[in-house]
Protein backbone atom coordinates (compact mmCIF):
# COMPACT_ATOMS: atom_id res chain seq x y z
CA UNK A 1 0.00 0.00 0.00
CA UNK A 2 1.20 3.42 -0.85
CA UNK A 3 1.17 6.34 1.61
CA UNK A 4 1.91 10.05 1.67
CA UNK A 5 5.30 10.94 3.23
CA UNK A 6 7.92 13.68 3.48
CA UNK A 7 11.06 14.15 1.49
CA UNK A 8 12.82 10.84 0.84
CA UNK A 9 16.10 11.98 2.44
CA UNK A 10 14.29 12.50 5.74
CA UNK A 11 12.87 8.95 5.51
CA UNK A 12 16.32 7.61 4.76
CA UNK A 13 17.73 9.28 7.87
CA UNK A 14 15.00 7.80 10.03
CA UNK A 15 15.28 4.36 8.51
CA UNK A 16 19.02 4.35 9.01
CA UNK A 17 18.64 4.89 12.76
CA UNK A 18 20.83 8.01 12.76
CA UNK A 19 20.64 10.12 15.93
CA UNK A 20 19.37 13.04 13.90
CA UNK A 21 15.89 14.40 13.53
CA UNK A 22 15.95 16.60 10.46
CA UNK A 23 12.84 18.69 9.85
CA UNK A 24 12.78 19.66 6.19
CA UNK A 25 10.41 21.33 3.82
CA UNK A 26 7.34 19.16 3.42
CA UNK A 27 6.61 17.89 -0.09
CA UNK A 28 3.84 15.49 -1.01
CA UNK A 29 5.33 12.39 -2.66
CA UNK A 30 4.03 8.90 -3.15
CA UNK A 31 6.21 6.30 -1.46
CA UNK A 32 5.67 2.56 -1.21
CA UNK A 33 7.05 0.22 1.44
CA UNK A 34 9.31 -1.14 -1.27
CA UNK A 35 10.71 2.36 -1.80
CA UNK A 36 11.61 2.61 1.87
CA UNK A 37 13.21 -0.83 1.84
CA UNK A 38 15.22 0.10 -1.22
CA UNK A 39 16.38 3.27 0.49
CA UNK A 40 17.97 1.49 3.45
CA UNK A 41 21.39 0.92 1.80
CA UNK A 42 21.54 4.64 1.08
CA UNK A 43 20.71 5.37 4.74
CA UNK A 44 23.60 3.24 5.95
CA UNK A 45 25.92 4.83 3.43
CA UNK A 46 24.81 8.27 4.58
CA UNK A 47 25.43 7.35 8.22
CA UNK A 48 28.97 6.26 7.37
CA UNK A 49 29.53 9.57 5.60
CA UNK A 50 28.43 11.45 8.71
CA UNK A 51 30.65 9.33 10.94
CA UNK A 52 33.63 9.93 8.69
CA UNK A 53 33.29 13.71 8.96
CA UNK A 54 32.70 13.88 12.74
CA UNK A 55 35.57 13.72 15.24
CA UNK A 56 34.08 14.26 18.69
CA UNK A 57 35.97 15.55 21.71
CA UNK A 58 33.95 13.61 24.26
CA UNK A 59 33.70 9.84 24.34
CA UNK A 60 30.96 8.18 26.32
CA UNK A 61 33.48 6.95 28.88
CA UNK A 62 34.77 10.50 29.40
CA UNK A 63 31.23 11.79 29.82
CA UNK A 64 30.39 8.99 32.27
CA UNK A 65 33.48 9.88 34.29
CA UNK A 66 32.39 13.53 34.32
CA UNK A 67 28.86 12.61 35.38
CA UNK A 68 30.15 10.50 38.26
CA UNK A 69 32.13 13.49 39.50
CA UNK A 70 29.24 15.94 39.10
CA UNK A 71 26.86 13.94 41.27
CA UNK A 72 29.43 13.87 44.11
CA UNK A 73 30.78 17.42 43.75
CA UNK A 74 29.13 18.29 47.07
CA UNK A 75 32.27 16.72 48.59
CA UNK A 76 34.06 19.84 47.33
CA UNK A 77 31.45 22.14 48.84
CA UNK A 78 29.64 22.75 45.54
CA UNK A 79 26.05 22.02 44.47
CA UNK A 80 25.66 19.22 41.90
CA UNK A 81 22.55 20.88 40.45
CA UNK A 82 24.69 23.84 39.31
CA UNK A 83 26.27 21.47 36.77
CA UNK A 84 23.05 20.05 35.29
CA UNK A 85 23.62 16.29 35.58
CA UNK A 86 20.26 15.53 33.92
CA UNK A 87 21.22 17.49 30.82
CA UNK A 88 24.49 15.57 30.70
CA UNK A 89 22.63 12.26 30.97
CA UNK A 90 20.31 13.29 28.14
CA UNK A 91 23.25 14.22 25.91
CA UNK A 92 24.94 10.91 26.69
CA UNK A 93 21.86 9.06 25.47
CA UNK A 94 22.54 10.47 22.00
CA UNK A 95 25.94 8.82 21.98
CA UNK A 96 29.14 10.49 20.85
CA UNK A 97 27.86 13.55 19.07
CA UNK A 98 28.20 17.27 18.66
CA UNK A 99 25.52 17.67 21.33
CA UNK A 100 27.54 15.65 23.84
CA UNK A 101 30.61 17.70 22.99
CA UNK A 102 28.68 20.91 23.66
CA UNK A 103 27.03 19.82 26.90
CA UNK A 104 29.93 17.93 28.47
CA UNK A 105 32.45 20.55 27.37
CA UNK A 106 30.38 23.37 28.86
CA UNK A 107 29.83 21.59 32.18
CA UNK A 108 33.51 20.67 32.36
CA UNK A 109 34.41 24.33 31.83
CA UNK A 110 32.08 25.43 34.63
CA UNK A 111 33.65 22.93 37.00
CA UNK A 112 37.16 24.01 36.10
CA UNK A 113 36.28 27.65 36.69
CA UNK A 114 34.58 27.04 40.04
CA UNK A 115 37.14 24.59 41.41
CA UNK A 116 40.09 26.66 40.21
CA UNK A 117 38.90 30.23 40.79
CA UNK A 118 35.97 29.90 43.22
CA UNK A 119 32.20 29.60 42.91
CA UNK A 120 31.34 32.86 44.70
CA UNK A 121 31.09 35.76 42.19
CA UNK A 122 32.93 39.04 42.63
CA UNK A 123 29.92 40.62 44.37
CA UNK A 124 30.34 38.17 47.25
CA UNK A 125 34.06 38.83 47.74
CA UNK A 126 34.25 41.90 49.96
CA UNK A 127 37.51 43.90 49.94
CA UNK A 128 39.15 41.21 47.83
CA UNK A 129 42.16 42.29 45.73
CA UNK A 130 44.04 39.07 44.95
CA UNK A 131 45.55 38.69 41.48
CA UNK A 132 45.03 34.94 41.18
CA UNK A 133 47.26 33.49 38.42
CA UNK A 134 45.54 30.09 38.33
CA UNK A 135 43.42 30.75 35.22
CA UNK A 136 46.64 31.46 33.32
CA UNK A 137 48.54 28.55 34.85
CA UNK A 138 45.84 25.89 34.55
CA UNK A 139 43.69 26.61 31.47
CA UNK A 140 40.70 24.37 30.83
CA UNK A 141 41.93 23.08 27.41
CA UNK A 142 45.05 21.62 29.03
CA UNK A 143 42.93 19.90 31.67
CA UNK A 144 40.59 18.54 28.99
CA UNK A 145 43.60 17.13 27.16
CA UNK A 146 44.50 15.17 30.29
CA UNK A 147 40.98 13.75 30.36
CA UNK A 148 41.23 12.82 26.68
CA UNK A 149 44.56 11.13 27.39
CA UNK A 150 42.83 8.72 29.76
CA UNK A 151 42.81 10.36 33.18
CA UNK A 152 39.64 10.16 35.25
CA UNK A 153 37.53 13.32 35.56
CA UNK A 154 37.72 13.20 39.35
CA UNK A 155 41.50 12.94 39.22
CA UNK A 156 41.79 15.88 36.82
CA UNK A 157 39.30 18.17 38.57
CA UNK A 158 40.31 17.52 42.18
CA UNK A 159 43.88 18.19 41.12
CA UNK A 160 42.74 21.84 41.05
CA UNK A 161 42.09 21.79 44.80
CA UNK A 162 44.24 24.22 46.81
CA UNK A 163 47.28 22.29 47.95
CA UNK A 164 47.40 23.96 51.37
CA UNK A 165 46.68 21.44 54.16
CA UNK A 166 44.02 23.76 55.64
CA UNK A 167 41.79 23.22 52.59
CA UNK A 168 42.00 19.46 53.07
CA UNK A 169 41.12 19.95 56.75
CA UNK A 170 37.98 21.88 55.80
CA UNK A 171 37.04 19.22 53.26
CA UNK A 172 37.32 16.56 55.95
CA UNK A 173 35.26 18.72 58.32
CA UNK A 174 32.51 19.02 55.70
CA UNK A 175 32.41 15.25 55.27
CA UNK A 176 32.08 14.84 59.05
CA UNK A 177 29.24 17.37 59.39
CA UNK A 178 25.70 16.06 59.04
CA UNK A 179 23.27 17.46 56.49
CA UNK A 180 21.05 18.68 59.35
CA UNK A 181 23.76 21.13 60.45
CA UNK A 182 23.06 23.38 57.50
CA UNK A 183 24.55 26.60 58.91
CA UNK A 184 27.81 24.90 59.83
CA UNK A 185 28.03 23.24 56.42
CA UNK A 186 27.41 26.57 54.69
CA UNK A 187 30.20 28.20 56.69
CA UNK A 188 32.61 25.37 55.87
CA UNK A 189 31.67 25.56 52.19
CA UNK A 190 32.18 29.34 52.11
CA UNK A 191 35.64 29.00 53.63
CA UNK A 192 36.56 26.20 51.24
CA UNK A 193 35.66 28.57 48.42
CA UNK A 194 37.75 31.35 49.96
CA UNK A 195 40.76 29.08 49.57
CA UNK A 196 40.03 28.94 45.84
CA UNK A 197 40.17 32.74 45.67
CA UNK A 198 43.87 32.48 46.49
CA UNK A 199 46.54 31.00 44.24
CA UNK A 200 46.39 27.20 44.29
CA UNK A 201 50.06 27.13 45.31
CA UNK A 202 50.91 29.78 47.91
CA UNK A 203 54.62 29.04 47.62
CA UNK A 204 56.87 26.45 49.27
CA UNK A 205 57.75 29.15 51.81
CA UNK A 206 55.05 31.73 52.51
CA UNK A 207 53.46 33.91 55.15
CA UNK A 208 49.74 33.46 55.73
CA UNK A 209 47.83 36.04 57.76
CA UNK A 210 44.29 35.06 58.77
CA UNK A 211 42.64 38.33 59.73
CA UNK A 212 39.66 37.00 61.78
CA UNK A 213 41.95 34.65 63.70
CA UNK A 214 44.41 37.44 64.60
CA UNK A 215 47.31 35.15 63.70
CA UNK A 216 49.99 34.72 61.06
CA UNK A 217 51.94 31.63 60.17
CA UNK A 218 55.26 31.13 58.44
CA UNK A 219 54.83 27.97 56.35
CA UNK A 220 57.66 25.93 54.83
CA UNK A 221 56.84 22.89 52.67
CA UNK A 222 53.37 22.54 54.19
CA UNK A 223 54.63 22.74 57.78
CA UNK A 224 54.04 25.58 60.24
CA UNK A 225 57.44 26.96 61.23
CA UNK A 226 56.35 30.00 63.22
CA UNK A 227 53.10 31.53 64.50
CA UNK A 228 52.60 35.09 65.67
CA UNK A 229 49.63 36.95 67.09
CA UNK A 230 48.61 40.01 65.10
CA UNK A 231 46.48 43.13 65.42
CA UNK A 232 44.47 43.97 62.30
CA UNK A 233 42.38 46.83 60.96
CA UNK A 234 39.16 47.77 62.66
CA UNK A 235 35.81 47.23 60.90
CA UNK A 236 34.68 49.78 58.33
CA UNK A 237 37.02 52.00 56.35
CA UNK A 238 40.12 50.75 58.20
CA UNK A 239 39.41 47.04 57.59
CA UNK A 240 42.45 45.09 56.40
CA UNK A 241 41.95 44.08 52.74
CA UNK A 242 42.57 40.65 51.26
CA UNK A 243 45.53 40.57 48.88
CA UNK A 244 48.74 38.74 48.07
CA UNK A 245 52.17 40.30 47.77
CA UNK A 246 55.83 39.58 48.48
CA UNK A 247 58.11 40.49 51.34
CA UNK A 248 61.21 41.83 49.66
CA UNK A 249 63.21 42.94 52.66
CA UNK A 250 63.32 43.83 56.34
CA UNK A 251 63.50 47.46 57.46
CA UNK A 252 65.12 47.89 60.85
CA UNK A 253 64.45 51.13 62.75
CA UNK A 254 61.84 52.30 60.25
CA UNK A 255 60.48 55.77 59.72
CA UNK A 256 56.73 56.20 59.43
CA UNK A 257 55.20 58.51 56.86
CA UNK A 258 51.85 59.25 58.45
CA UNK A 259 48.87 58.76 56.10
CA UNK A 260 46.84 61.85 55.27
CA UNK A 261 43.80 60.12 56.71
CA UNK A 262 45.50 60.55 60.08
CA UNK A 263 47.30 63.84 59.40
CA UNK A 264 44.10 65.57 58.31
CA UNK A 265 41.28 63.20 59.16
CA UNK A 266 42.34 62.67 62.78
CA UNK A 267 43.92 66.09 63.31
CA UNK A 268 47.48 64.92 63.91
CA UNK A 269 48.84 67.64 61.60
CA UNK A 270 47.45 70.49 63.69
CA UNK A 271 48.53 68.83 66.92
CA UNK A 272 52.12 68.41 65.73
CA UNK A 273 52.30 71.98 64.39
CA UNK A 274 50.76 73.47 67.51
CA UNK A 275 52.72 71.41 70.05
CA UNK A 276 56.40 71.28 68.97
CA UNK A 277 57.69 69.87 72.28
CA UNK A 278 55.14 67.06 72.27
CA UNK A 279 55.93 66.33 68.61
CA UNK A 280 59.70 66.15 69.30
CA UNK A 281 59.16 63.75 72.21
CA UNK A 282 57.44 61.37 69.84
CA UNK A 283 59.78 61.82 66.90
CA UNK A 284 57.35 63.66 64.61
CA UNK A 285 58.76 65.96 61.96
CA UNK A 286 56.23 68.08 60.07
CA UNK A 287 56.71 69.80 56.70
CA UNK A 288 54.27 72.35 55.37
CA UNK A 289 54.27 72.90 51.62
CA UNK A 290 53.62 76.19 49.82
CA UNK A 291 50.08 75.06 49.12
CA UNK A 292 49.45 74.33 52.79
CA UNK A 293 49.88 70.58 52.44
CA UNK A 294 51.28 69.10 55.66
CA UNK A 295 53.32 65.91 55.66
CA UNK A 296 54.49 64.22 58.83
CA UNK A 297 57.24 61.63 59.21
CA UNK A 298 57.94 59.89 62.49
CA UNK A 299 61.63 59.16 62.99
CA UNK A 300 63.05 55.84 64.26
CA UNK A 301 62.86 55.33 67.99
CA UNK A 302 60.96 53.67 70.80
CA UNK A 303 57.84 55.79 70.17
CA UNK A 304 57.64 55.03 66.44
CA UNK A 305 54.22 53.62 65.54
CA UNK A 306 55.90 50.90 63.45
CA UNK A 307 58.05 49.82 66.40
CA UNK A 308 61.55 48.54 65.78
CA UNK A 309 61.00 46.78 62.45
CA UNK A 310 58.68 46.45 59.48
CA UNK A 311 58.58 44.05 56.56
CA UNK A 312 59.12 45.74 53.21
CA UNK A 313 56.26 44.60 50.97
CA UNK A 314 55.40 47.47 48.59
CA UNK A 315 51.72 47.38 47.62
CA UNK A 316 48.98 49.70 46.45
CA UNK A 317 47.10 49.35 49.74
CA UNK A 318 49.98 50.64 51.91
CA UNK A 319 49.48 47.65 54.22
CA UNK A 320 52.52 46.25 56.00
CA UNK A 321 53.50 43.83 58.75
CA UNK A 322 55.31 45.70 61.50
CA UNK A 323 56.18 45.96 65.17
CA UNK A 324 54.36 48.25 67.63
CA UNK A 325 55.30 50.06 70.83
CA UNK A 326 51.92 49.04 72.32
CA UNK A 327 52.79 45.35 72.68
CA UNK A 328 50.46 44.85 75.62
CA UNK A 329 47.51 44.93 73.20
CA UNK A 330 48.44 41.47 71.92
CA UNK A 331 46.95 40.14 75.14
CA UNK A 332 43.51 41.45 74.12
CA UNK A 333 41.04 38.89 72.83
CA UNK A 334 39.59 41.40 70.34
CA UNK A 335 42.42 42.73 68.20
CA UNK A 336 40.77 44.55 65.26
CA UNK A 337 42.36 47.82 66.37
CA UNK A 338 44.71 49.18 63.71
CA UNK A 339 44.22 51.53 60.77
CA UNK A 340 44.61 48.54 58.41
CA UNK A 341 48.24 47.51 58.83
CA UNK A 342 49.14 44.29 60.60
CA UNK A 343 50.92 44.77 63.89
CA UNK A 344 52.92 41.64 64.65
CA UNK A 345 53.78 40.18 68.05
CA UNK A 346 57.49 39.38 68.57
CA UNK A 347 58.09 41.19 65.28
CA UNK A 348 61.83 41.55 65.86
CA UNK A 349 62.24 37.79 66.30
CA UNK A 350 60.22 37.25 63.13
CA UNK A 351 62.34 39.75 61.21
CA UNK A 352 65.57 38.15 62.41
CA UNK A 353 64.30 34.73 61.25
CA UNK A 354 63.54 36.05 57.76
CA UNK A 355 66.69 38.16 57.34
CA UNK A 356 69.07 35.38 58.42
CA UNK A 357 67.60 32.50 56.39
CA UNK A 358 69.01 31.07 53.13
CA UNK A 359 72.20 33.05 52.79
CA UNK A 360 70.99 36.26 54.45
CA UNK A 361 72.84 38.22 57.09
CA UNK A 362 74.07 36.58 60.28
CA UNK A 363 72.27 36.78 63.59
CA UNK A 364 75.04 39.03 64.92
CA UNK A 365 74.75 41.36 61.95
CA UNK A 366 70.99 41.59 62.36
CA UNK A 367 71.35 42.38 66.05
CA UNK A 368 73.94 45.07 65.37
CA UNK A 369 71.75 46.73 62.72
CA UNK A 370 68.77 46.69 65.05
CA UNK A 371 70.75 48.12 67.99
CA UNK A 372 72.19 50.95 65.87
CA UNK A 373 68.89 52.83 65.85
CA UNK A 374 69.58 53.80 62.24
CA UNK A 375 67.10 53.22 59.43
CA UNK A 376 68.45 50.20 57.51
CA UNK A 377 66.86 48.08 54.82
CA UNK A 378 68.11 44.49 54.52
CA UNK A 379 66.97 42.74 51.31
CA UNK A 380 65.90 39.11 51.55
CA UNK A 381 67.90 36.62 49.44
CA UNK A 382 64.57 35.47 47.96
CA UNK A 383 61.23 37.31 48.16
CA UNK A 384 58.67 35.50 50.32
CA UNK A 385 55.00 35.46 49.25
CA UNK A 386 52.62 36.88 51.83
CA UNK A 387 48.88 36.27 51.69
CA UNK A 388 46.42 38.37 53.68
CA UNK A 389 43.32 36.16 53.91
CA UNK A 390 39.94 36.08 55.61
CA UNK A 391 38.88 32.67 56.96
CA UNK A 392 36.19 32.37 59.61
CA UNK A 393 36.65 28.62 59.96
CA UNK A 394 39.76 26.49 59.86
CA UNK A 395 42.45 24.87 62.00
CA UNK A 396 43.68 27.06 64.84
CA UNK A 397 47.29 27.21 65.99
CA UNK A 398 46.74 23.93 67.87
CA UNK A 399 45.33 22.23 64.77
CA UNK A 400 41.73 22.16 66.05
CA UNK A 401 38.92 23.04 63.64
CA UNK A 402 37.67 26.37 64.97
CA UNK A 403 35.15 29.04 64.10
CA UNK A 404 36.54 32.60 64.20
CA UNK A 405 34.47 35.75 64.67
CA UNK A 406 33.31 37.36 61.42
CA UNK A 407 34.74 40.73 62.44
CA UNK A 408 34.00 42.41 59.08
CA UNK A 409 30.59 40.78 58.47
CA UNK A 410 31.70 39.11 55.23
CA UNK A 411 30.29 35.61 55.74
CA UNK A 412 26.73 36.35 54.63
CA UNK A 413 27.81 37.63 51.20
CA UNK A 414 30.13 34.66 50.66
CA UNK A 415 27.49 32.11 51.64
CA UNK A 416 24.86 33.77 49.44
CA UNK A 417 27.35 33.75 46.56
CA UNK A 418 27.61 29.98 46.66
CA UNK A 419 24.05 29.70 45.36
CA UNK A 420 23.91 32.91 43.33
CA UNK A 421 23.19 32.55 39.62
CA UNK A 422 26.25 32.98 37.46
CA UNK A 423 25.45 35.39 34.59
CA UNK A 424 25.80 33.89 31.14
CA UNK A 425 25.80 30.29 32.31
CA UNK A 426 23.51 28.44 29.91
CA UNK A 427 24.03 25.22 28.07
CA UNK A 428 24.39 25.72 24.31
CA UNK A 429 21.27 25.48 22.21
CA UNK A 430 20.96 22.34 20.16
CA UNK A 431 23.50 22.80 17.44
CA UNK A 432 22.65 23.54 13.82
CA UNK A 433 23.79 21.20 11.10
CA UNK A 434 27.31 21.89 9.98
CA UNK A 435 27.94 22.87 6.36
CA UNK A 436 29.42 19.44 5.71
CA UNK A 437 26.32 17.74 7.08
CA UNK A 438 24.06 19.92 4.94
CA UNK A 439 26.13 18.91 1.93
CA UNK A 440 25.81 15.25 2.88
CA UNK A 441 22.05 15.54 3.04
CA UNK A 442 22.11 16.83 -0.51
CA UNK A 443 24.24 13.87 -1.54
CA UNK A 444 21.73 11.55 0.10
CA UNK A 445 18.99 12.86 -2.15
CA UNK A 446 21.21 12.18 -5.13
CA UNK A 447 21.91 8.65 -3.88
CA UNK A 448 18.17 8.10 -3.51
CA UNK A 449 17.50 9.33 -7.01
CA UNK A 450 15.76 12.49 -5.82
CA UNK A 451 17.91 15.15 -7.46
CA UNK A 452 14.78 17.21 -8.13
CA UNK A 453 14.06 17.85 -4.43
CA UNK A 454 14.67 21.15 -2.65
CA UNK A 455 18.10 21.40 -0.99
CA UNK A 456 18.12 21.03 2.79
CA UNK A 457 19.78 23.99 4.41
CA UNK A 458 20.07 25.87 7.66
CA UNK A 459 17.47 28.34 6.43
CA UNK A 460 15.00 25.44 6.47
CA UNK A 461 15.51 24.83 10.18
CA UNK A 462 17.57 21.63 10.09
CA UNK A 463 18.94 21.06 13.61
CA UNK A 464 20.80 18.48 15.62
CA UNK A 465 18.67 17.27 18.51
User: Quick one: pLDDT at residue 54?
Assistant: 63
The domain 183-255+300-419: what is its CATH number? 2.40.440.10
Phi-psi region of 88 (alpha: psi -120 to 50; beta: other; left: phi over 0): alpha
User: Quick one: pLDDT at residue 26?
Assistant: 45
Strands 321-322 and 342-344, sheet pairing: parallel
- DSSP at 341: S
pLDDT digits (tens, 9 = 90+) for 364-403: 999 999 999 999 999 999 999 999 999 999 999 999 999 9
pTM: 0.80
Residue spans per domain, the chain: 2-56+431-460, 183-255+300-419, 256-299
pLDDT digits (tens, 9 = 90+) for 231-254: 999 999 999 999 999 999 999 999
CA atoms within 13 A on the CB side of 351: 32
Among 57, 46, 55, residue whose Cα is nearest residue 19: 46
Band (pLDDT 50/70/90 cuts) for residue 289 is confident
User: Please, is 62 exposed, middle or buried when counting C-beta atoms within 10 Å of its C-beta (0-12, 13-18, 19+)?
Assistant: buried
pLDDT digits (tens, 9 = 90+) for 55-111: 899 999 999 999 999 999 999 999 999 999 999 999 999 999 999 999 999 999 999
More confident: 421 or 217: 217
Q: How far apart are CA 433 and CA 441, in angstroms?
A: 10
Q: Residue 372's Cα: distance from chain center in Å?
A: 45
Amino acid sequence: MKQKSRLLSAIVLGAGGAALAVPVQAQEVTVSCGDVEAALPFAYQLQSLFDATEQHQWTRDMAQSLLEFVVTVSDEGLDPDDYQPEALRAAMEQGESERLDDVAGTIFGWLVEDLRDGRVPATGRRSYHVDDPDARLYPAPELLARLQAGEDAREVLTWLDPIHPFYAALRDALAATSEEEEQTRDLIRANMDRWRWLPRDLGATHILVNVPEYHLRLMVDGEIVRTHRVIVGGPGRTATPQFSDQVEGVIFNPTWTVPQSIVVGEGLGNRVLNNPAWARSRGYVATRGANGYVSIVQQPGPQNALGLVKLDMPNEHSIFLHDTPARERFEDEYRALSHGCIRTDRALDFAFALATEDGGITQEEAQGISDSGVYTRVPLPQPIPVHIAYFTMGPDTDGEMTRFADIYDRDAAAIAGLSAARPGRRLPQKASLSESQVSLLGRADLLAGRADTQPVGKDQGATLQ
